[in-house]
Amino acid sequence: MAILPNQRRDKILELLKEDGSAKVVDLSRLFKVTEVTIRQDLEKLESEGLIIKEHGGAYLKNVEDQVRSFSLVHQDNLDKKERIAQKCLEFIESGDTIILDSGSTTTEIAKKLKGLKNLTVITNALNIALMLGTESGIEVIMTGGEFKPPTLSLTGQKAADFFKGLNVQKLFLATAGISLKSGLTYPSISDLVVKKAMIDAAEVTYLVADSSKIGKSALASLGALSLIDYIITDTGIEEKHKQVFNANEIELIIAN
C-alpha cells in the first residue's frame, strides 16, 4: 500500500538522520516512486530548513557540526534513556563480553560502564569506543564498516561480517520502532544486516528502547519480536504493549 506524501517525507528525513545523506535514485527505488517525486520531496524538506539538496541527492543539515562536536542526532527522552541504562547495569557482570549497539540509549549505558573491571565491549559506535577506550578495566573492540555521520557508527556488510564466528554473552540492542506487525524496525536498510549479525553472535539479547518507540514503525523491518529475549524500557509503556510482549514470551524489564 502506497504511503502518503507527508509520511514518505517523514521517512526520508528519518533515513537522512540515520545515514547523513542519500541519492535520489536510491530513494526512488526504496519508496517505489519516480525520481521526480523524490526531488519534489527533497525540495519540500529543504524549504523547511531540514536538509540541503545537492546534485543527485541530499544530505542532513548541520551534520558536519554534529560530527565535529561528536554529538548524536537522536537526543530526545534522555532522562528515560538514562534510567534504562542504569537498569542495564544489573545485567552486566565482571568478566562479561558484551556487544553495545550504536545509539543514544546504548551511549548512556557506556557512560555507566566507566570504572568497571574485566569487561570486554564490542561496538560499532565510534563515540562509545572513544568513551571507553581509555578505561583500564575495559577492553574495547570495534567492527569495521561504512561510517554513518549522524549516528557516529559503522554499518553495512563489513560491520556484519565482523560478528561471524563470535560467541558473546550479552547484546544490548537499539531500535527505532517496535510494533506487533513489523517487529523491530530501523530507518536504514544498511543496518539490518549488522543488527541480525549481532543477535546471532549473542547468547542473550536485551532490547533497550524508551517507551516512545513502542507501537511505532520505522522504514525497514529486521524481523519478529521473537528475535529478542528481554526488553528494557521505562514506566511510560502502555498496558496494551505489555500484553503484546507477554504474548510473545518476551520478558519485560521496566526501569523505574
What's the rounded mean pLDDT across residues 5-21? 90
> Domain residue spans in the chain?
5-61, 78-255
Closest-CA residue to 173 (of 145, 201, 209, 137): 209
What is the per-residue pLDDT for 180? 80
User: Is the fold of 5-61 the same as that of 78-255?
Assistant: no
Lookup: cell for 88: 542495564
Task: Write down the pTM of the prediction.
Answer: 0.89
pLDDT bucket at 17, cuts 50 / 70 / 90: confident
Mean pLDDT of the chain: 93
Q: Of 3.60.15.10, 3.40.630.10, 3.30.750.24, 3.40.50.1360, which CATH number belongs to 78-255?
A: 3.40.50.1360
Lookup: cell for 223: 524481523
- CA distance linking residue 128 with residue 142, whole number of Å: 10
Q: Please name the residues in contact with 103: beta carbons below 8 A apart, sequence gap of 6 or more.
A: 72, 74, 125, 151, 153, 174
What is the per-residue pLDDT for 1? 54
CA-to-CA separations, 231 to 34, 206, 227, 244, in angstroms, rounded: 39, 6, 11, 12
103: left (phi over 0), alpha (psi -120 to 50) or beta: left
Q: Name the residue with cell 540509549.
A: 105
Q: Are 60 and 150 in contact (CB under 8 A)?
A: yes
Per-residue pLDDT tens over the stretch 217-227: 888 999 999 99
For residue 28, pLDDT over 90 is answered with yes
Lookup: cell for 229: 529475549
Per-residue pLDDT tens over the stretch 64-119: 887 888 788 667 789 999 999 999 999 999 999 999 999 999 999 999 999 899 99
What is the per-residue pLDDT for 123? 98
- CA distance linking residue 188 with residue 166, whole number of Å: 24
CATH for the stretch 5-61: 1.10.10.10
- CA distance linking residue 130 with residue 134, whole number of Å: 7
Q: By mean pLDDT, which of 12-16, 71-75, 169-173 is the weakest? A: 71-75
